[in-house]
Structure 1
Amino acid sequence: MISFHLLVNSNIEYWFNGSPSIKDAIEANGIPHTEVNEIIVNGAPVDFSYTLRRNDRADVFPVVNIASLSTDSVIPPLPNPVSFIADVHLGKLARELRMLGIDTFYENNWNDQQVADIAQRENCVVLTRDIGLLKHKKIKWGYWLRSQLIQEQLSEVIGRYNLAESIHPFKRCIDCNGIIEPVEKENILLQLPPKTKEYFNEFYQCKGCGKVYWKGSHYENMLKKIKTYYTD
């Protein structure tokens, strides 16, 4: 018998042949390993490698917040600072996270294998709406976004990973994730529209792709939105 203490408590009788691991049993019931905090079998904590035996009683507890992981959590400690990789369907979320200064890998042509490979190489958290992707063995950390609405998704990620104090707006390029730094106006004159040259003197440039930023009419609106996620 396996009990899943996830969105609602549920008890499932899991029938098996051979010697499956507890990880296999959990994922066979639709729960990716990245969503599991702690596993208790017959009253004792175990990790994902535990081999199920007849008449085992397993309790599976979810991750609610990274700060509240149990001492026996099966999730390895997150790197500090944490970085993310968003799957191909989360381009808007990736841009929003980058706008907040949060390191977020994203390309709109990456397949699942590429996402898993990059997540492993860069030690980052996978963000996705695809539960199947989170079952990939290369992925250590990941989160299945509950909402399909961008602002709710952003709130989910900030809350789950305690990112409020890690927000540094306009430090990363929303297009390529590169670092943005101040740049002298005369060095980027050829990239500026005529009216921008006339009315603005403070500019920033991405070290990665070279995109130029300035505090135009959209800047105040972006600031208002950002301040809903943190307080200076």
Structure 2
Amino acid sequence: MAHGPRGTPSGWHADSVVERDIHLRITAELLLFLPASRRREWQRVAPDGTSTLGHVVESLGIPLPEVGPMTVDGAGVGPSYQPAAGDVVHVHAVPRPQQVPLEPGLLAPRFLLDVHLGTLARRLRLLGLDAAYHNDMDDPSLVVQANAERRVLLTRDRGLLRRRALWLGAYVRGSSPHDQLRDLLERFAPPLRPWTRCTACNGELAPVGKHEVERLLEAGTRRTYDAYGRCPECGQIYWRGAHSEHLEEIVRSATRAVGSSQ
């Protein structure tokens, strides 16, 4: 495509109306957030003299947690920048892997998943990631917990990501748990510790002697396995070698995905 002054499409610069508008170039990764009828790279918005760039971008349907660097004429600007007529704004997606501020002592981000992502939560726990999940928590409560515990709120609800009080969230791409997990691993590239968390409640497993739990085991399990772990939160017992091929493949695939993202 040919371009006119300041990088805008060539068909726009001759019209005096264009000079009264803000021109936004949306990176391909963010086009999915735009309505289908407006899903194109170049967007044009009339300035109102008061709206910030963050407000303008969100008015297009793009949640700010999904937005990375923004530039005007090559200079970096933030969401609080007030765009003027004739500005050409380039809006990029969050860089991958995304860097998340970590609490002291933590090696990986902690997550909180909304009510629609239960399977994804269990898969993250399988990989040793701290993934809180409740199947009955409303949106305001999710924001409160995410902020209080400095967890990245994972959701496919764009409206939830636009809540001003939320410290950090991420839109989960993909409709299947497989695709969702791959998207999250590519986005955050967290270090993995498979088989160290309870997939039921998110507790960290602790080694436990066979003699301490054998009365709770089926006879076949007692005869076959010797190494056990127990969740101190819910009491669930796990044993080495009890993993199905399906779970083993999830771990292998996740390990490859994280390795290729780093």
TM range (shorter): 0.7 to 0.9
Give the deviation of 1:101 after TM superposition: 0.3
2:45 match: secondary structure: coil
2:202 match: secondary structure: coil
- Alignment of 1:143 with 2:165, yes or no, is no
Question: Which of 50, 53, 61 is residue 19 of structure 1 equivalent to?
Answer: 50
- Paired with 2:248 and 2:135, the residues of 1 have a C-alpha distance of 26
Give the deviation of 1:15 after TM superposition: 2.5
2:66 corresponding residue in structure 1: 35
Task: Give the length in aligned residue pairs.
Answer: 222
Letter in 2 for 1:179: E
TM-score (norm 2): 0.77
2:75 corresponding residue in structure 1: 44
Give the deviation of 1:17 after TM superposition: 3.1
- Paired with 1:129 and 1:158, the residues of 2 have a C-alpha distance of 16
- Paired with 1:27 and 1:193, the residues of 2 have a C-alpha distance of 56
1:167 corresponding residue in structure 2: 192
8 Å CA contact 2:97, 2:186 repeated in 1: no
- Paired with 1:146 and 1:59, the residues of 2 have a C-alpha distance of 22
1:188 match: secondary structure: helix
Question: Which of 174, 188, 197 is residue 222 of structure 2 equivalent to?
Answer: 197
Give the deviation of 1:48 after TM superposition: 1.4
The CA deviation string for residues 143-198 of structure 1, in whole angstroms up to 9 with x for no partner, is 212210111111111111113xx111111111111100111123224432343334
What are the within-5 Å matches in structure 2 for residues 176-215 of structure 1?
Answer: 176-215=201-240
Q: Percent of aligned positions with the same letter in both sequences?
A: 30
- Paired with 2:72 and 2:239, the residues of 1 have a C-alpha distance of 57
- Alignment of 1:105 with 2:132, yes or no, is yes
Give me the CA root mean square deviation.
2.2
- Alignment of 1:115 with 2:142, yes or no, is yes
8 Å CA contact 2:124, 2:131 repeated in 1: yes
With over 3 angstroms needed to count, the CA separation of the structure-2 counterparts of 1:87 and 1:29, relative to structure 1, is same
Unaligned runs of 5+ in 1: 68-75
Unaligned runs of 5+ in 2: 1-22, 32-39
- Paired with 1:156 and 1:218, the residues of 2 have a C-alpha distance of 24
